[in-house]
Amino acid sequence: MADIVIDNLVKVYPGSTERANDSISMHIADGEFMVLLGPSGCGKTTLLRQIAGLELPTSGGIAVGGRDITYLPVHQRNLSMVFQSYAVFPHRRVRHNIAFGLKMRKLPQAEIDQKVAWAADLLQLGPYLDRFPAQLSGGQRQRVAVARAIVVDADVLLMDEPLSNLDALLRLSFRSELKRIVGQLGTTTVYVTHDQSEALSLGDSVAVMRAGKISQLGGPLEIYNHPADTFVGGFIGSPPMNFLDGTLTPGGISIAGHLVDAPPGAPGQGAVRIGIRAESLVVHPDPAAGRVPAEVLVVEPLGAATLLTAQVGQSQVKVQVPAESTVTAGQAIHLELPPRAVRLFDPETGLTWTLS
Ligand code: ATP
């Protein structure tokens, strides 16, 4: 069992007054793929480095498989790491790069050869084993770094933005490869990224971080569909969630002077911030009860779908329509907000309202 328990972890760097990690607690199950996601400076790498033993916490604790590792030196933690920079040794051939951790652990040569062959096969590096890293593409080099990390049978795999040096196309193909490989291994994994699509695609769970704290921890669809606050809704998704200010009334929600149906169980009355995803808004040519008038400002064909930017009262929203839509810029449209897709947030705190 290599579950990870992080208990009330606080990290204040020497000379700083800010908490880079502020009272972080989480349980990562054995075999789980946990993604730490958030904007630059929110404390993702700091948390990963404390699990790795490269930084010590100011207070709090970390246990792996029931063993307290908070203050253990790096080499006693049985972890593997893959970092942003490929971190492969340029003067060693691919096979010796992959074998590095195994040699350090003084495994018999036959076992090393067997494991290197296994990892090379898994990562499709077989034809390149005798090359030097300079003779590889960026994606192949990154695969070497991953191969080196997975051969050592570590309890936990830690990855810090491992795909960020790859171009967009390679990133996409390597992302699914990585998911397949880590899924096969079943190793408990903690993965840092600021790329929300990477987080949604890879994570069994995603911890969305902001200013040293966890804003929300949940499954990818849970954080996409039910963001805990407007920060999470605005960070997750491409485009991010739309927000519109309105007023809850007994007859529904008033938005820009038009009444739309409230979601089931919506509370009382008063100011409210509505969140709705671009793909949930429905475009109609004609006005009707429950629709909000809007003007199309921009039409962006994206291939699989088309993205509209539309003006609604004082706000702008993004609306996803089918690629074959004939809507043009300047056109007046009427937006339907299906009540079940509407999320309500407190306009003061930004926190979601739990519907009864
Ligand atoms: P990025 O995505 O840019 O890598 P991050 O979310 O990983 O960001 P961290 O690197 O964990 O963020 O940094 C969290 C906070 O701690 C930041 O305010 C950063 O400036 C600060 N910090 C990080 N490392 C140190 C350090 N060695 N000394 C002092 N402050 C640091």
pLDDT, position 239? 96
Q: Is 17 in the pocket of ligand 1 (CB under 6 A)?
A: no
Nearest protein CA to atom 14 of ligand 1, as residue: 43
Pairing verdict, β 252-255 and 305-312: unpaired
pLDDT level of residue 137 (50, 70, 90 thresholds): confident
Q: Is 40 in the pocket of ligand 1 (CB under 6 A)?
A: yes
pLDDT, position 173? 81
Q: Is 343 in the pocket of ligand 1 (CB under 6 A)?
A: no
pLDDT level of residue 300 (50, 70, 90 thresholds): very high
Q: Is the confidence at residue 1, as pLDDT, over 80?
A: no
Mean pLDDT (whole number) for 80-91: 80
Q: Is 45 in the pocket of ligand 1 (CB under 6 A)?
A: yes
43 Cα nearest atom in ligand 1: 11
pLDDT level of residue 215 (50, 70, 90 thresholds): very high
Per-residue 3-state assignment (H helix, E strand, C coil) for 308-341: EEEEECCEEEEEEEECCCCCCCCCEEEEECCHHH
pLDDT level of residue 166 (50, 70, 90 thresholds): confident
pLDDT, position 288? 95
Non-local CB neighbours of 169 within 8 Å, separated by 6+ positions: none
Q: Is the confidence at residue 174, as pLDDT, over 70?
A: yes
Q: Going from the N-terminus, what domains does the chain have, and what CATH number goes with each? A: 4-235 (3.40.50.300), 242-345 (2.40.50.140)
Q: Is 36 in the pocket of ligand 1 (CB under 6 A)?
A: no
Whole-structure pTM value: 0.92
Pocket test for ligand 1, best of 18, 46, 159 (most atoms within 8 A of CB): 46
pLDDT, position 85? 64
Q: Is 277 in the pocket of ligand 1 (CB under 6 A)?
A: no
Nearest to 143 by CA among 195, 98, 189: 98
209 Cα nearest atom in ligand 1: 6
> Which stretches of 65-109 are assigned E, i.e. beta strand?
67-68, 79-82
Nearest protein CA to atom 9 of ligand 1, as residue: 43
334 within 8 A of 317, measured Cβ to Cβ: no
CB atoms within 10 A of CB 218: 18
Nearest to 233 by CA among 343, 318, 353, 348: 343
Alpha helices in the chain, H assignment, sequence order: 44-52, 94-104, 109-122, 138-150, 168-185, 196-202, 220-225, 230-235
